[in-house]
Amino acid sequence: MRKIISTVVVGLSLGATTGPAATQEPIKIGYIGDFTGVAGALAEDQYEGFNLFLEQHDGKLGGFPVRVIREDSQWKPEVATQLVEKLIEKDQVPIITGITGSNIMMAVHRPITERKVFLISSGAGPSPVAGKGCSPYAFYTARQANQISEVVGRYANGKYNNVMILAANYQAGKDVAAGFKRTFEGTIVEENYTALTQPDFSAEIAQIQVTAPDAVFVFFPPALGINFTRQYHQAGLNATIPLLTTGFLDDQSLPSLKDAAVGVHVGEFWMSSVDTPASKALLDAFKKKFNRMPANYVAAGYDSAVLLDAAIRRVNGDVANQEAFRAALKEGSEGTTRGKLRFNNNNFPIQSMYVFAAEKDGGDYRMKTVETFPDQQDSYHQECPLP
């Protein structure tokens, strides 16, 4: 059996308390993220958002102290399933959160939810767990993977007659491509899927030059997406073939891409230009602590803590009462970065989705809100048997 490494236990039971929290043992929460691997930056963002809320609330959720057990799944499904066993059997956690990659979610969803352990995903939202594979014990605070590309497809309608698609060859890549195709009313002239380990896209860029579509839609994990955008810019394609994307270009990656990203349009549920009180507060607190801009995974991690805070308070810390806690989670929460977090029947958010554009303003680069699509539901909720 593969040895599990990089286990970090974070004790956050700080300060004196009164009432039930004074005598209760800290609530254990397992935290699984792909801290090493191609999604490492995203996992750190999720965790930093989650942990920022805890720090702002003296290490408590719902007024009760918590103990967070952080684990690194290393972007390896077999490691993730071992960690789930350890967290449930040895640590006896009632809640597991985090989960960055869709490949990890597909490995751990059933082992977690079949044991009636609550899964709060602040990252992955693949289609199989949104539809027939949904569970009353799984909730999602980011978005279903297709939503971020469906909104780009809607934006592209009437602007481009034909589009070429490039995506990484894994669950999220296929979901995101499917989402764009679902809503785009024009012609898909070509569709290519590349290996998750492929850093060079010269062959794909050459094909784009030959095909000459009206626009290109791409989806890659962050490091690969940044590589592609730079190579696309170096080939001079930005000036002639608009680039549409989602998943890797945001307030955090924009400063490193600079001119290479200017003009690129992105679909997402959150960036710094989203105008809510919690969004502004998170932006200020994160910049003050880390001296950099937060990405949307920070917002999703933060919102997962906001959700748990509200639900744990509703059950007065009694997370062992599974039916009551499930109902408390289902109520959603006020005060998230998107305003009120509300759930569909499959426990994915119903929320506004946005198209943002990278722009240069003087010497500064920023993500600007271009179009808002309110009250978006994912495309799989009707397949979920939950009421």
Tokens matching residue 355: 């198209």
Give per-residue pLDDT as tens, 5-15. 344 444 443 33
Would 8-143+275-343 and 147-268+352-383 be classified into the same CATH topology? yes
Is a pLDDT exceeding 80 seen at residue 189? Answer: yes
Short-list 215, 213, 270, CA closest to 245 = 215
* Segments making up each domain of the chain, as ranges: 8-143+275-343, 147-268+352-383
Which alpha helices (H) appear in the chain, and where do they start and end? 20-23, 40-56, 77-85, 102-113, 147-156, 171-183, 202-211, 222-234, 254-257, 277-290, 296-314, 322-330
Query: How many percent of the chain have pLDDT more than 90?
Result: 87
Give the model's pLDDT for residue 13: 38
For the domain covering 147-268+352-383, report its CATH number: 3.40.50.2300
Give the model's pLDDT for residue 4: 40
Give per-residue pLDDT as tens, 312-349. 999 999 999 999 999 999 999 999 999 999 999 999 99
Give per-residue pLDDT as tens, 17-27. 334 444 579 99
Give per-residue pLDDT as tens, 106-149. 999 999 999 999 999 999 999 999 999 999 999 999 999 899 99
- Predicted TM-score (pTM) of the model is 0.88
CATH 3.40.50.2300 at 8-143+275-343, yes or no: yes
Please state the rounded mean pLDDT for residues 295-324: 97
Q: How many residues does the chain have?
A: 387
